[in-house]
């Protein structure tokens, strides 16, 4: 009985404490990983929004400045009436 109280039970308690600590660490690591993924997604969304704004601004500039778009003549196929 003395061995049980002095050795076995304290050893089992230490093992249970260690398992509980490992579980806590695993939960904390999972939470950090989730937070990291959330931040990565947020950065991706903000980057996409910035790119969309840039493209919208670029389109607006092109729409408000028609001289920025080169106008090329469309060549028509020659017809018999055009022949000399």
Report the share of the chain in percent with pLDDT over 90. Answer: 62
Q: What is the pTM of this model?
A: 0.55
Rg (CA), the chain: 36
Q: What is the per-residue pLDDT for 11?
A: 92
The answer on pLDDT for 65 being more than 90 is: no
Residue 72 inside a domain? The answer is no
Residue 73 inside a domain? The answer is no
Residue 9 inside a domain? The answer is yes
Residue 41 inside a domain? The answer is yes
Number of structural domains (the chain) is 1
**Tens digits of per-residue pLDDT, 23-53?**
999 999 999 999 999 999 999 999 999 999 9
Structure tokens of 70? 């080169």
Range of the domain at 9: 2-62
Contacts of 62 (CB under 8 A, 6+ apart): 68, 69
């Amino acid at each position: 009985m003395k061995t049980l109280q002095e050795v076995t039970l304290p050893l089992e308690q230490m093992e249970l404490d260690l398992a509980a600590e490992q579980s806590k660490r695993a939960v904390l690591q999972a939470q950090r990983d989730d937070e990291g993924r959330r931040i990565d997604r947020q950065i991706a969304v903000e980057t996409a929004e910035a790119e969309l704004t840039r493209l919208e601004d670029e389109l607006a500039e092109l729409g408000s400045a028609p001289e920025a778009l080169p106008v090329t003549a469309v060549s028509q196929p020659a017809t018999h009436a055009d022949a000399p």
